[in-house]
Structures are given as structure tokens and as C-alpha cells.
Amino acid sequence: VMWPTMLASVAERYPRGGSWAMGLVGSAGALASFFVLPLLGGMFDKAKVEFAGGPEAFAALTGAAKLAVEDAAASVSFQKLAILPVVLLFVFGFIWMRERGKSRAALAGEAA
């Protein structure tokens, strides 16, 4: 979901960067995934063991009980992760407001 936004942002802000700038953004995204996805998996694993009552209890679960524990762990993991888009909304909103202020100042300078 964020890839098109980031690629469009780079293409607009750094048009002379061309494929090199796009490649850097792609590499940064891949690198972020490399570090973030294991953390998300660890968060899910920790939550499911906590919901089961410990590692031995989780290992003993089967069928519907295991599915219920995994569903609860997925919900908790999602709730923790859901804050990220809110944070990004403020980050990109700040960038947008700053860029908007710069373009208004540039227009005011041209009009004078």
C-alpha cells in the first residue's frame, strides 16, 4: 500500500534521480521488510504462547483450541501494528505541510 506513495513521492521530489532514486527506495523498502517481518513474527509468536499459557501448553494445543489461540494472538499483533499507519499519517502530513509552505513562499517570491 505504501509503495506507490513512496515511489510517486520520490519521482516527484527528485525527478533527476530517475531509476537510481527509485532503486534506492525499493532497496530501502526491501531492507525494512528484512528487519521488520521477523519482528512481527516474533510479536505473534510471543502473543500466541502467552495466550496458550506457556510454550508447553501451546505445543499441546490441537485443532480448534490452537486456532482460537492463534486468532487471539493475531488480533493482539494487529492492534499493536495498527498504530503504524497513524504515525505515518502524521509524518507524511508534516512533510506535506512543510512542502506546501515552501511552495507558497516560492510563489510569493515570484509575485514580488
Domain that holds residue 92: 83-112
Q: How are the residues of the chain apportioned to helix, strand and coil, as percentages rounded to the nearest 5?
A: 95, 0, 5
Nearest to 75 by CA among 67, 63, 87, 65: 67
pTM of the model: 0.64
* Domain shared by 90 and 102, yes or no: yes
Is 32 among the domain residues? Answer: no
In a domain, 4, yes or no: no
Question: Which residue carries 513562499 as its cell?
Answer: 105
> In this structure, what C-alpha cell is assigned to residue 50?
502467552
C-alpha cell of residue 71: 486468532
CA distance 20 to 7: 12
- If one counts the domains in the chain, the total is 2
- Supply 9's cell numbers: 513521492
Ordered per-residue pLDDT tens for the chain, 112 residues: 567 777 888 888 888 988 898 888 888 888 888 888 898 999 999 999 999 999 999 999 999 999 999 999 999 999 988 888 899 899 989 988 998 888 777 767 766 5
